[in-house]
Amino acid sequence: MAQILVVDDSSTVRDEVAGFLKRHGLDVATAVDGKDGLARLRMDPKVRLVVSDVNMPNMDGLTMAEKIRGELGNKSVNIVMLTTENSPIMKERGKAAGIKGWIVKPFKGDAVLATFRKLVEA
CB 94 within 8 A of CB 65: yes
The angle subtended at Cα 71 by Cα 65 and Cα 74, nearest 5°, is 65
Q: What are phi and psi of 101, to 5 degrees?
A: -165, 175
Applying CB under 8 A, the span of 32-40, 41-49, 66-74, 85-93 interacting with other proteins comes to 85-93
Smallest gap, in angstroms, from Cβ of residue 43 to other proteins?
A: 26
Interface with other proteins, residue 117, by CB under 8 A: no
DSSP track, 41-88: HHH-TTEEEEEE-SS-SSS-HHHHHHHHHTTS---SSEEEEEES---H
Name the residue nearer to other proteins (CB basis): 19 or 70. Answer: 19
Identify the residue among 6, 13, 29, 37 touching other proteins (CB under 8 A).
Answer: 13
Stretch of 26-34, 36-44, 69-77, 83-91 lying at the interface with other proteins (CB under 8 A): 83-91
Chain residues binding other proteins by CB under 8 A are 9-13, 55-57, 80, 83-87, 89, 91, 94-95, 99-108, 111-112, 115
